[in-house]
Amino acid sequence: MIKKFDCKGSIILGMHDAIVSLTGLIAGLGFALHNTVTIILSCIIASVTAGLSMGAANYLAVKTTNKNNALRAAFYTGFAYIITCILLIFPFFIFSSRIVTLVSVFLMALYIIFFFNFFFYRRQNFYKNFSEMLIICTLVSIISFFIGFIGKYFLEM
């Protein structure tokens, strides 16, 4: 019997991982580096490689239980990851102030979290899922900020 494929899990996997990892990377790089081009290039490289990696990982995971939909799951995960990353990198092309850009990135992440939770969970546990995703994203960004701050301190000696 062929299992019906629900793309929601694959989309949420890609979107949520992109928000957590890229906002963390942006927080770390944004406070450690002053060169916007370096930050943008680093984020683009990380986004593409991680998006492909997430798609491949989800392909292998889904293939173990649902061989017929593994490729579709990989596509949805990778696509959601890369689209989310594009939205998070976009403020770097608009604003010249690093602080305004970083605030815009976090507001964009908040909007994405709200949008996806509203779209997928509006009838069930919206506030719980929204809060959980927001807390995870915030904690990873704070930890990454401190890693960037410490790295900058020790590398500029």
**pLDDT at residue 4 is higher than 70:** no
Task: Assess contact for 77 and 13: CB atoms under 8 A.
Answer: yes
Express as a percent the part of the chain with pLDDT over 90: 40
For 116, the 3-state DSSP assignment is: helix
Is pLDDT at 12 greater than 90 in this prediction?
no
In this predicted structure, what is the pLDDT of residue 2? Answer: 53
Closest CA to 73 of 3, 1, 5, 2: 5
The more confident residue out of 77 and 5 is: 77
Q: Does residue 52 surpass a pLDDT of 90?
A: yes
All structural domains of the chain with their residue ranges = 8-155
- pLDDT, position 68: 83
Mean pLDDT check: name the lowest of 17-31, 37-51, 79-93. Answer: 17-31
The pTM of the full predicted model, rounded to 2 decimals, is 0.83
The pLDDT value recorded for residue 65 is 85
What is the per-residue pLDDT for 87? 96
Q: What is the pLDDT of residues 87-135, one digit of tens each?
A: 999 999 999 888 899 899 989 999 998 888 888 777 778 888 888 888 9
Average pLDDT in the chain: 86
- Angular region, 6: left φ>0, alpha ψ -120 to 50, beta rest: beta
**pLDDT range class, residue 38, cuts 50, 70, 90:** very high
CB 29 within 8 A of CB 152: no
Q: In percent, how much of the chain has pLDDT > 70?
A: 95
